[in-house]
Structure 1
Amino acid sequence: MSVQDPPPAAWRYCGDQLKRWRTRAGVSREELGAAAKYAPDTIKSMEQGVRMPTPQAKAASLLGPMLLLETVDHERLAFTEGPSMSQLTADAEVVGTQAERISMLRMEALSSAGSADFIKRMVDEL
């Protein structure tokens, strides 16, 4: 897209949806920006359809189910299941990366009570 070309119509549609969901949830641009690691002005530009999000590191959970295993001989293995292929490996670097991803998920996960409260809020908004 050159500097003179207008942004695609899909950007505007996505921006409208983003703003609709954000306002319906009662979240400010500042709050959304902080949670998504974007400046409030970037959120505003996205809502106006003049820019799309820049690629960021994928969340660990987007890479598919992960499982860490340890044999009776204390050999560590990692299994990752994806949409087009799965992998079982004993490569120490890959196992370490998978362990870090699982740790990230655990740190960000809600407690059982927090999950129940979140689901109740979502149901109440329907």
Structure 2
Amino acid sequence: QSRQYSVIDSDAAAPNIDFSQMKEIASSADPKYVIVDVREPDEYSAGHIPHAINIPCKSSPGALGLDPEEFKLTFGIDKPSAEKTLVFYCLAGVRARMSEELAATFGYENRLNYIGSFKDWLDN
């Protein structure tokens, strides 16, 4: 009997948040949170959650591992500090979970996953 192992410790997965929690974070504009839209730039341009920054996980999976200058050159914004709480979302939740787990490997300990993602945001 074989068992699948992941390099990511599943116990270390970020807590999930729902629409009401996401709405509260987005409307508060609290500087301790950074809302991260991990969809591709064209998806982000077509509409996104207020105050979200775009760090596409498919085309730039190692973005949070870049040094601050490289990050700013690539994305045109400051790299989020590891002290901030990153709130990840995509369209339906799959890319957000992947990105959130990847962020942990780059030293981001404070992470949240908006489980319903943009689809849920639009539905509400």
What TM-score comes out, normalization by structure 1 length? Answer: 0.21
Bigger Rg, which one: 1
What TM-score comes out, normalization by structure 2 length? Answer: 0.22
Q: Which has the higher contact order (CA 8 A, sep 6+)?
A: 2
Q: Which has the higher helix share?
A: 1
